């Protein structure tokens, strides 16, 4: 509990730091959100009136203080382009992004564990070479290429899955595979390396000397001890999947925060961009904290205090 409270306390400086960097970067981006909303031919009086209405004519320091004050109250402001509270827009889109992220994580883990175990059980063998070849291929293919390739083959040619949008399970398959392939490759390589190290430990030799087969000893005694580094990687990659989902959402027209963020950047919607980036940052920190807490479950030798 003390460890958890300390980690929760670190969220405050992280939030302020992320908010400050986001505020600074979005205000340094070239372009005027008022001109983007009204058009290049808008009258100067209309531009000045809307800028005053949105508070964009005030000094940057004053806007920053107001932004932090609203953040402390849980108020992310009002979207310039949607004319709605930012928190409400994010709350509507966040479930879709979370659904896609979890699905990508499940695909990555389900693919990675068999590959990693087969490779770690017989390093240098044919199965190891094949599995690691797949891992290298998965890392090498970017989402922006894999996604359209899957759409062409499985949606346009075979017509097995819907092309774009969010609906039932069928709509989730191709985006989840696109998002989870690279993750599966990374986890498989880490699991393989951990199992190779575990195979040479004393307790594994003892287990085999008692009559257990090499694979049975690896699964029963070795896998859990090899999981610490894998849990670390999965936790870090789960946070990274949120940002990786941004590209996948654009490819498959998935109505998540990623698409919302891209649209907000194009419209110079300062409050919405800041809210989306803060949501990504907070989620990443919470996932890392949950990963730390899992250490004590996976490996009882780990003491968080």
- 21-34 pLDDT, tens per residue? 877 877 776 666 67
**Residues 214/121, Cβ–Cβ less than 8 Å:** yes
**Helix, strand or coil, per DSSP, at residue 85:** strand
What are the 10-residue block averages of pLDDT along the chain, 305 residues in total?
Answer: 73 79 75 67 75 74 81 79 85 88 87 81 76 78 82 86 82 87 82 76 68 66 71 74 78 85 80 84 78 66 55
Closest CA to 286 of 100, 103, 15, 90: 15
**Domains and their CATH numbers in the chain:** 2-86 (no CATH), 88-298 (1.10.3720.10)
Provide the terminal-to-terminal Cα distance of the chain, rounded to the nearest Å: 10
Q: Tell me what pLDDT residue 214 has.
A: 64
Radius of gyration of the chain (CA): 24
> Residue 123 — left, alpha, or beta (φ > 0 → left; ψ -120 to 50 → alpha)?
beta
Q: Tell me what pLDDT residue 163 has.
A: 82
Q: Tell me what pLDDT residue 87 has.
A: 86
Q: Tell me what pLDDT residue 44 has.
A: 77
**Residues 216/224, Cβ–Cβ less than 8 Å:** no
The DSSP call for residue 32 is -
Compute the C-alpha angle 64/67/70, nearest 5°. 150
Q: Tell me what pLDDT residue 202 has.
A: 64
Q: Tell me what pLDDT residue 31 has.
A: 66
């Amino acid at each position: 509990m003390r460890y958890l409270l300390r980690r929760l306390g670190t969220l405050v400086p992280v939030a302020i730091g992320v908010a400050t960097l986001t505020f600074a970067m979005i205000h340094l981006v070239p372009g005027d959100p008022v001109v983007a909303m009204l058009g290049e031919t808008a009258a100067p009086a209309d531009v000045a009136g809307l800028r005053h209405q949105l508070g964009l004519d005030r000094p940057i320091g004053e806007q920053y203080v107001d932004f932090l004050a609203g953040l402390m109250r849980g108020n992310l402001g009002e979207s310039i382009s949607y004319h709605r509270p930012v928190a409400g827009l994010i709350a509507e889109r966040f479930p879709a992004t979370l659904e896609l992220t979890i699905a990508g994580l499940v695909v990555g883990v389900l693919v990675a564990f068999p590959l990693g175990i087969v490779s770690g059980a017989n390093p240098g063998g044919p199965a190891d070479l094949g599995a690691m070849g797949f891992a290298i291929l998965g890392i090498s293919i970017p989402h922006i290429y894999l996604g359209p390739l899957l759409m062409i083959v499985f949606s346009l040619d075979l017509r097995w899955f819907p092309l774009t949008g969010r609906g039932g399970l069928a709509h989730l398959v191709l985006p989840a595979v696109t998002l989870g392939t690279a993750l599966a490759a990374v986890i498989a390589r880490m699991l393989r390396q951990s199992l190779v190290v575990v195979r040479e430990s004393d307790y594994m030799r003892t287990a085999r000397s008692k009559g257990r087969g090499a694979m049975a000893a690896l699964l029963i005694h070795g896998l859990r001890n090899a999981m610490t580094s894998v849990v670390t990687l999965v936790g870090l990659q789960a946070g990274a999947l949120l940002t990786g989902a941004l590209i996948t959402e654009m490819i498959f027209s998935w109505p998540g925060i990623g698409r919302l963020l891209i649209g907000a950047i194009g419209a110079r919607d300062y409050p919405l961009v800041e809210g989306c980036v803060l949501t990504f940052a907070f989620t990443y920190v919470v996932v890392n904290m949950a990963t730390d807490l899992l250490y004590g479950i996976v490996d009882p030798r780990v003491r968080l205090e």
